[in-house]
Amino acid sequence: MNDCIFRHRLYLFSFLCGLLFIQPALAKEKKNDPPVLAVTALQCDNAGNPLGIDTRHPQFSWQIKSTARNVHQAAYQVLVADATEKLDKADGNIWNSGKIASPQSAGIVYKGKTLDSRKKYYWKVLVWSSENSTPVTSETASFEMGLLHQQDWVGDWVGFPSGWIGKVLYFRRVFSFQKEIARARAYVAGIGYNEMEINGRKVGSQVLDPATSDYSKTVYYTAYDIKDFLQKDNVMVVAVAPGWYGMPKLRMQMEFYFTDGTMEVIHSGTIRNVTLGPVVSAGILDGEVYDARLEKPEWNLPSDTIIKGLPNQTWGYAPVVEAPGGTMKAQPLEPIRVVDAFSPLSVKEVQPGIYVMDAGQNMAGWVALKVKGDRGTKITLRFAETLYENGTVNQENLRTAAATDVYILKGAGEETWEPRFTYHGFRYMQIEGWPGKPSVDNFVVKKVRSNVEVAGRFSCSNDLLNRINQMVQRTEASNLHSIPTDCPQRDERMGWLNDLTVRIEQAVYNFTLHRFYAKYIRDVCDTQNENGEITDTAPYKVGGKPADPVSVSFLLLALKSYEYYGNAEIIRQHYPQMKAWVDYLTTRTKDGIVEYSYYGDWAPPAAFGAQGHGYGAISVNTPGDLISTGYLYYSAKILARMCGVTGNADDMHRYEQLAQRTIKAFNSKFWDESKGGYGSNNQACNSFALFIGAPTQQQLPRVMANLVKDVKERGYHLTTGNLCTKYLLETLTDNGEVETAYKIAAQTTYPGWGYMLEKGATTLWERWEYETGGSMNSHNHPMMGSVGSWLYKYVAGIIPDIENPGFEKFILRPYIINDLTHAEATYESVKGTIRSAWKKTKGSLEYTVTIPANTTATVYIPAKTIQSITESGRNISHIKECRFLRSEGQWAVYEAGSGNYVFKSKW
C-alpha cells in the first residue's frame, strides 16, 4: 500500500516537473506564432446580406478581430461569385479583385462584371496580416440586386383619385399556384406609406415605409422575400396611406420562380380591387382614426367570392393614375421600425373622465393600447409635449397639427391596437372616452425611428453632463425618420439644412448614419436647379429658395461620410452638385462678401434676438453677411479638400484661391482693429471667426481675450444661437480654455442645457427659453445639440484623422477637466470599437484605451512627466507597440498599434 502511494507521488512529482519545463517552451512557441485573426462584420453597401439593392458598383467592408496587439491588414482579396460552390473553390467568377496590398477595409468599390437585376451574388474576403503569409478567409456573405432598370417595372401606378380623397386605400388580389415555388420576391412602392399583408400576415417589420423623398424626382421601393408567406391559394392586401405624398398610389410587382424553371409576375396593373377599411383616416400631422367595427377578417380568405361584382358600393375599380414622376430606386437606408417599447410612468385622472398618461420622456412614436368595452365606444388620444396647470395636455405649440388618434371599439372582449400610418412627438397623452378607469397596464409606449445602430456611449463623474448627453441622443433619435427632421411633433418635421450644419458631427457620434446620410444627400441634390441653387429644406417643402449660405451641411454630408466611414464614392458621385452650389454662392457676392442671409446664427437667447419678426430668432448682434461669407470660405476649403479625393488638381487650385479671396474680404470688412474682434465683438462673431481660422497670429490673442472676457462677464453663459454654440465650445477648448468651455456646458441657469434639465426637459428645446405657446416652441429639437460632439471629441477625445479616413488612423486626445474625476466614451467605428476612458487616482491618472485591429492611433497621454508613464505596470519605453512622437502641452504623444492599453502617469 505504502509502495503504491510512493509510486503515485513520484509519478505526480515527475509530471509537475515536466510541466515546469514544457510550459515556458509552449509560451515561447505561442509568442512567436502569428496573431490569431478573424474577419467579421461583412457588409455590402453598409448592410449585412442586403436584399434588393440597385447600386451598380456596391461597396464592401469588413472588420478584423484579434486579441493581439499591433495587428494590421497587409493585403486583401475580394471574391464575388454567382454560386457558393464557386466561392468554395476560390473562384470569383463575377469579380476577383486580386491580392491588393492595402490596409483598407471599408469603401472597397466593386469593379467586376455588370451586375444583373434580381440576381443574388455571394462574396467573401481573404485577409493577409503583416505577420502572416497565409490569408484568413471570411465566412460567405451575399447581396441581391433589385430592379436596376426602369423597364424592369412592368406595372402601372394605380389609385382611386376620383373619390375617397385623403383616405387609406386597401388594394386586394387573390392568386394561386399549381407548382412548387423555389423563390418569390415582392417589390413595393406604395406612397405615401404602405403595409403589405399576405394571407393575413404582415410582410416585413418596418413601419412608415417607404422613405420620404421628392416623389417627382425619386420614389423608393422596398424588396421583400415572400416565399415563406405563400401557400397554394393566397390573398394579398396592401394598405396605402397618404403619408407625405397626400394621395395614395401603388406600384408593385410580385415575381414567382418555380422549381420547373418557369416564372410568373403579378403587378399593380392587375390589382384592381380597392376599398376602404378600418383605418378611416391617417395623417402624419393629425393622427389616425381606426374603427375596429370595420375590420374584415374575410379579406384574408383566398377567394374573390366576397366581392359581389366590381365595382359595387364597397369595392371600387382602381384605375391607372398619373405617375409621381420620380425614378424608381431601391430604398438605400435602414427602414423605420419600432425600436423600443416600455410601460408609461403614470396614468392620472386630471378631470372627471379625462386621464393623462406620462411616458416619462419626450420622444417620437406612438402608444399601443389594450382595452375592453362596448361596441362603438370611442377613445380619443391627444398627444403633447407639455401640460397646462390643470394637468391637461397643451397642444398650442403643435400649431395646426391635431396629433390625435381615435380608436372605436368593436366590442369583442379584449382589444389591442396601435396606429400604422402616423407618428407623434410627445411626452403626454390625454385619454378621453375610456371605458372604466385606465392604468399603466393598458398602454405600451413605442419609440419609432429609422433603425440605425447606436454608435456612441458617454459617461463621466458629473451626472449633469451625462443627462445632457442623454438629452442630446434622445433628441437626435426622435428626429431620424428617413430624413433628419427638425422636430417630430408640430406641423413641420422638415429636413432643415441650416440646423444640420452643426448637427452632423453630434449625430455621427451617437448613431451609425452611413446609409442614412448617403440617402439624404440625394434628397438635397433633388432640390437643385440648373443654376446650382439648393433649398433650405430637403425634400423641399418650406423655407428659402435658394438656401441660406449657412447650408454647408450639403458638403458636410459627403465630407463627414468620408472622414468617419471612409466613403470616397459619396464625394465622387455628388461633387458636380456640390461644386455647382458653391459656384452659385460666388455669384451672390460683392467685393467678396455674400450679400444675402435668412437665418444666420439662428435663435440666440431672447435678449439677443430681433423682436417683432422672424420669431425673434434672428440675431441682432451677429451680422448675417458675416456668417454667410464665413460659410462661403468654409465651403470653398471643403471643396478644395474634396478635390484631393477626386484627383482634380485644377479645381483644387481654383477653390483654394476662392477661399483665400473670401477670407481676405472677410477680414477686411469684419475685423475691428479698435476692439480686437470681429463684427460686434460678441461670442458668435469671434468664435465663428476663430473656427474658420480668420485671425492672424497677431490678432488671435486679442480675439481669444475678448471671447473669454465676454463669457466670464456673463457668468459663463452663452449668447450664441444654433450655429455658433458649436464653435464657441470648440474654439475655447482648442485655444487653451477648456475649463471655460466646461463651465458653459455645465451651466444650470439660463441660458444653457442644464437650465433645460432644471425645467424638466428630457429632450432639447428649440429655444433657450421655456416657451409653450403656438409659435416656434418645439421641445424636441436637435439644432442646439452640438454639445454632444464636444463631449466625445474633447472630454473623451475620440477624433477621426481625415488624412486617413474611415479610422485607418485616428486620434485619442482627452482633455482632463478639473471638476471631473473620470470620463469614458466608446465609439463603434467602421473598424470596430474604440474606447477612451480616464480617471484620476491620488496624484496619478489612469488612461485606458481600446484601438481596434487594423488601425493606428495617435494617443495623447495626459502626464506631468514622460518618465512617469507606465503601460500595464511597465515603463512605456519598454512597450514596443507605443512609439514616442513628441510632448505637446499637457500630453505625451505616442503612436500606438491596435490593442487594449492601460496607461498611468503622474497628474
Ramachandran assignment for 614, one of left (phi > 0), alpha (psi -120 to 50 degrees), beta (any other): left
What the block records as the C-alpha cell of 346 is: 403614470
Which of 636, 669, 547, 633 is closest to 598 using CA atoms?
Answer: 547
Please report which residue ranges of 671-764 form alpha helices under DSSP H: 683-692, 700-713, 724-734, 738-745, 753-758
Residue whose C-alpha is closest to residue 244's, from 274, 216, 205: 216
Cis peptide before 210 (omega within 30 of 0): yes
The DSSP result for 112-141, as a single string, is SSPPPTT-EEEEEEEEEETT-SSPEEPPPE
Closest of 250, 235, 230 to residue 173, by C-alpha: 235
**Measured between alpha carbons, how far is 174 from 302 in angstroms, rounded to an integer?**
6
Question: Are the beta carbons of 292 and 374 closer than 8 angstroms?
Answer: no
CA angle, corner 566, sides to 562 and 572, nearest 5? 55
Closest to 703 (Cα-Cα) out of 721, 689, 722:
689
Q: CA 597, CA 601: separation in Å to the nearest integer?
A: 10
Q: How far is CA 522 from CA 47, 128, 213, 753, in A?
A: 18, 36, 9, 33
Bridge partners (DSSP) of residue 814 are none
Q: How far apart are the first and last CA of the chain?
A: 65
Q: Which residues are catalytic?
A: 492, 766
Q: What is the 3-state secondary structure (H, E, C) of 457-487?
A: EEEECCHHHHHHHHHHHHHHHHCECCCECCC
Give the other-Cβ count within 10 Å of 231's Cβ.
12
The whole-angstrom separation of Cα 234 and Cα 301 is 8
Phi, psi of 101 (to 5 degrees): -75, 100
Other residues' Cβ atoms within 10 Å of the Cβ of residue 335? 17
Q: Is 256 helix (H, G, I), strand (E, B) or coil?
A: strand
As separate numbers, helices (DSSP H) first and strands (DSSP E) second, the chain gives 15, 46
